[in-house]
Structure 1
Amino acid sequence: MYNVNMKAEHLHRLIWMSRPLMQAAEACVEAGLIGTNLTVRMRAVLEILDKYGDQTVPELAARLEIKRQYVQIMCNETLASGFIEQRSNPRHKRSAILTLTDRGRAVIEEIIAKEMKLVEELGENLSNEDVATALAVVSAVTDSLKKRAGESE
């Protein structure tokens, strides 16, 4: 066993718990998409467009913190579904602006409403202070790891 202090041990466990947390969250999201003709990737595109408004692929990539090439694949899939459409971009001829269709807006708003109900249920036994502390700790650890890895925000 390594000789580390308890705080370091807890932080190490917190970091390693992020993978099972994300896998469990993704499984719940995926289950909630049954019957919508959406994939988890498409849902992510719709959520960003719903939350932040019209975006280009590079803007979406920055918000999702994913490489632009991968987000382009996600957007192509979502465009083909009819949940989003593209418009010309007066600022950049080669980078179209993506926008939700009425159908896309309706489906993502319904999905988010269901997900928020689930999140409220998950938090029933947690205090506001505990959730705020957890968020602050995860944010601080994430920021510190990104700086050490040489990433910029």
Structure 2
Amino acid sequence: MEKVDRLYHLVWMSRPLMQVAELAVEQGLEGSGLTVRMRAVLEVLRENGALPVPEIARHLQIQRQYVQVMVNETLAEGLTEQRPNPRHKRSPLLALTDKGQALIEGAVARERVLLEAIGDGFEEQEIATALDVVRRLTERLMGKTGGET
């Protein structure tokens, strides 16, 4: 198989991979009260601290307006709270509440258990190489398509 064919298959396999990954995440959230969308916002805040909506959108690489809908869900459930943003008065910072922090930590812990189970048989170097290839391929495709969504 040629390099171009392998790249083609790699790109197109990303869709079923993301679909089954989202299903696994969704199943792991059962009973928690979290949706996949809410979990995405909480994870960005867990990793980066308090951020305004436009920054969350950049991390998720989706439109700000859609992220605002997601953020509104987390606010309504008491998982996040708004704080003043010293850099921008009209764009408050969004921060995890204790409830939000506990829920995202629990979700990530369950996902790590799943990843340990499915990661059996993969060498650490294989995973590092795959991650590097996907990152570089994403960057190159973003450069060819005009950047972020």
Query: TM-score per shorter chain, which class?
Result: over 0.9
Number of residue equivalences: 148
1:20 aligns with 16
1:123 shift after superposition: 1.0
Large movers: runs of 4+ above 4 Å = none
1:70 shift after superposition: 0.5
2:99 aligns with 103
User: Is the partner of 1:85 in helix, strand or coil?
Assistant: strand
CA distance in 2, matches of 1:12, 1:73: 34
CA distance in 1, matches of 2:84, 2:146: 34
Structure 1 residues 57-112: Cα deviation after superposition (integer angstroms, max 9, x where no partner): 01101111111111001000110011111112222111011111101101110110
CA distance in 2, matches of 1:114, 1:99: 22
Residue segments in structure 2 that go unaligned for 5+ positions in a row: none
Q: More relative contact order in 1 or in 2 (CA 8 Å, sep 6+)?
A: 2
Residue segments in structure 1 that go unaligned for 5+ positions in a row: none
Query: Which protein is bigger by CA-based radius of gyration?
Result: 1
CA distance in 1, matches of 2:57, 2:66: 8
CA distance in 2, matches of 1:11, 1:49: 33
CA distance in 2, matches of 1:7, 1:74: 39
| Equivalent of residue 136 in structure 1, options 127, 132, 137 | 132
Structure 1 residues 32-61: Cα deviation after superposition (integer angstroms, max 9, x where no partner): 111111110000011111111001001101
CA distance in 2, matches of 1:39, 1:31: 10
Amino acid at match of 2:32: T
1:125 aligns with 121
